[in-house]
Structure 1
Amino acid sequence: MTQTVRVIGAPIDYGTNRRGVDMGPSAIRYAGLAEQLERANVTVVDDGDVRAPRAEERDPEAEPPANGRAKFLRETREVATGLADRVERALASGELPLVLGGDHSVAIGSVTGSARNADIGVVWFDAHGDFNTPETSPSGNVHGMPLAAVLGVGEFANAQWATATGLSPENVAIVGLRSVDERERDAIADSGVTTFTMSDIDERGIASVADDALDVATAGTDGVHVSLDLDWLDPREAPGVGTPVRGGVTYREAHAALEAVAERDRLRSMELVEVNPILDERNETASLATELAASALGTKIL
C-alpha cells in the first residue's frame, strides 16, 4: 500500500529574532519537495498552511532579551494548537504528516498532534538542545524552547497546550548537539533525555549514533517523530539558517542518518524547520531539506 504524506506548512517566525524563516515552507515547496517525495514512492497531498495570527508591529532583529519571559507566546500557542489538530487529523486518516517550518517552535504543535492517541518517541536532529524555558533563556526566543515545552520542563509544566503529549524523556534522543546554553545544559543533564554530541558522531560514526538514537525512540513506542532543524548540518552544507554553528554534520552523514530512519520503518511524523531563504544561497538549504525528507521516507542516494 502506498504511503500518503500530507504536507502542512507553518510559516511563522515568532520564535526567532531573524526575519525570513516564515518563508521557509514556500522555499521548500519551490525547491521541489513534491517531486523528491514522489521518488520515494509516496503520494503527496499538500494541505496548505496553518493560520498564523498577526503579531504587533515589531522588528525582531532589534528586540532586546525578554527578561525571563517568552516572546510572542500567545501567537506561538495559537499556531501550535491549530497545527496539532491538523497533524492529528492526518494521522487519523492514515497519512504521515510532514510539517514545514517556520522556526522550531512549530515542533510544539507537531509533537503534540502526533502524540495524541499514541505513545511516541522523538529523534531531535539539531545543533541546539532547545531545552530552555522562559526563565533560563538568554533571548526569550521560543525556538530555543520546544523540546522543554513538550516535556513540561520548568514554566511549561502546566501548559496543557504544549505538554498534553505523554512524551517520556526516556524515549527522546537529541543528535548532533554542539551549542548549548549553560543553564540549558544542566536541565538536559537532569532530564533523562539521551544526547549525542558531534564528538560522539566523530568518534563513533553517524550510523552507530543514528541506530542508538532510534533504539531510544522506538523502545516501547507506537512510532517516531523526527524533528529536523537544518542548522544540524554544517553551515557549508546548509547556509540558509538563522543560528548557524560550525562543525555540523556533512551532506552524506545527514543522508545516512535519515536513511537509517527509513530502514526502521517506524516514522510517524516529521518536521523540517529553520530554513531561511533570505540567508540562503540559491535555495540550497531548502533543496537539501527536500532531499533529507525523501531519504527519511525511503529514497537512497546509492
Structure 2
Amino acid sequence: MDKHHISLIGVPLDYGQSRRGVDMGPSAIRYAGALKRLESIGHTVTDEGDIQVSAVEKTEQDTNLKNLDEVVTANTELAGKVADVIKQGKFPLVLGGDHSIAIGTLSGLSTTYKNLGVIWYDAHADMNTAETSPSGNIHGMPLAVAMGLGHERLVNILQGGQKVKPENVVIIGARSVDPGERQLIKEKKIKVFTMHEIDRDGMTAVMNEAIEYLRNRNVDGVHLSLDLDGLDPLYTPGVGTPVAGGISYRESHLAMEMLEDSGMITSAEFVEVNPILDEKNKTADVAVGLMGSLFGEKLI
C-alpha cells in the first residue's frame, strides 16, 4: 500500500437538492472517525476544514436550475482548493454535501489531470441538464457538467469547457436513470454497470472490467465519486434519494479493496450523507468504513 498525504476537504452544501440536512454530512463523517481511521492505516492526514457556504434561504432564480448562484459560488471555491491540494502533491478527499460538489472537485482536478478517468459509484447517472431534469436539482447534473454539457456558469468553473471525456467515465450501481440521461448515455457511449450486471456477473467481474477499461484509456489519474445512495438503503438509510435494490455493504468493501489494489485512484469524494435522515450516524459510519478499504485497511 502506498502511503498518502491526504487532505480532507468538507463541503457543507445542500443547495444542489431539495432535502435539508446533507450540509451536515462532512461533520457526521468526521464524527464517525474518518481522520483517525485513515491515520491508523498509516497515512498522513490534514483536515483542511470546510468550504464556506453561505447560510441563506434557498432561492430559485431559474426553475430548471435551483439555487444556481449558491452552487456556483461553493463549487468555485472548492475547485480552487482541490487544485491547490493537488499542486502540493496531496491526495484530495472531499466530504459532502450533496453530489453537486463533484462539479467543483472535477474542475479542480482538471487543472492537473488532462485525461482523467472517473468512477461514478451511484444509484443515479447524474447526467441531467436543465432541459432534461425533472426536478431542477443540480445534484442530478454534475457528470453532465463535467463532460461540458449544461449551463455555462457551471461548465466554466475555474476553467472553461469539458473537464472529463465521456469515454473516460465508468458508472457503477446505476438503477434510477431518467429518460434524458438514458439518451445521453447512449449518445456518448458511457460505460455503465447497472445492478443487472452486478447481480448477473458479480462485483469482482464488474470491478475487474472497470479497472481494465480505464487502464486501456491511458488515463493520467482516476477520481472516485461515491454517492452513499449507491448502496442499498438497508445499509445507508441517511441519503436524500434512496433507491431500493442497491449494492450491498460487502460488495462495496470489495469494490474499494479492488480499487486500492489497482493503485489507480488519485482522488475521491464521499457525498450525500444526511444525518437528519440517518439512524445513529449509520451512513457516515459506512462511509468511513469504505474509506478504510479504499486506503488499504486489511482484515489480516
Structure 1 residues 1-302: aligned runs within 5 Å: 2-55=3-56, 57-58=57-58, 67=63, 69-118=64-113, 119-156=115-152, 159-161=155-157, 164-218=161-215, 219-301=217-299
User: Equivalents in 1 of 2:257, 2:73: separation in Å?
Assistant: 34
Q: TM-score, normalization: structure 2?
A: 0.94
Amino acid aligned to 2:137? N
- Report the RMSD for the aligned CA atoms in angstroms: 1.9
Amino acid aligned to 2:256? L
Go from structure 1 to structure 2 and tell me whether the alpha carbon gap of 1:193 and 1:3 turns closer, same or farther (over 3 Å shift): same
Go from structure 1 to structure 2 and tell me whether the alpha carbon gap of 1:96 and 1:84 turns closer, same or farther (over 3 Å shift): same
User: Equivalents in 2 of 1:177, 1:44: separation in Å?
Assistant: 32
User: Equivalents in 1 of 2:279, 2:185: separation in Å?
Assistant: 34
- Name whichever of 149-158 and 243-252 sits farther off: 149-158
Amino acid aligned to 1:269? S
Unaligned runs of 5+ in 2: none
Is the Cα contact below 8 Å between 2:103 and 2:154 reproduced in 1? no
Q: TM-score, normalization: structure 1?
A: 0.93
User: Equivalents in 1 of 2:105, 2:136: separation in Å?
Assistant: 21
User: Equivalents in 1 of 2:237, 2:100: separation in Å?
Assistant: 20
User: Equivalents in 2 of 1:211, 1:157: separation in Å?
Assistant: 37
User: Equivalents in 1 of 2:155, 2:120: separation in Å?
Assistant: 21
For residue 74 of structure 1, report the CA deviation from its aligned partner: 1.4
Amino acid aligned to 1:136? T
User: Equivalents in 1 of 2:43, 2:162: separation in Å?
Assistant: 28
Cα distance per residue 1:198-253 (max 9 Å; x no partner): 01000111111112222233421111000000000000000000000000011110
Amino acid aligned to 1:77? V
For residue 108 of structure 1, report the CA deviation from its aligned partner: 0.5
User: Equivalents in 2 of 1:274, 1:100: separation in Å?
Assistant: 9
Amino acid aligned to 2:82? V
Is the Cα contact below 8 Å between 1:39 and 1:294 reproduced in 2? no
Is the Cα contact below 8 Å between 1:114 and 1:268 reproduced in 2? no
User: Equivalents in 1 of 2:284, 2:298: separation in Å?
Assistant: 18
User: Equivalents in 2 of 1:260, 1:161: separation in Å?
Assistant: 32
Is the Cα contact below 8 Å between 1:112 and 1:164 reproduced in 2? no
For residue 94 of structure 1, report the CA deviation from its aligned partner: 1.1
| Same amino acid, percent of matched pairs | 48
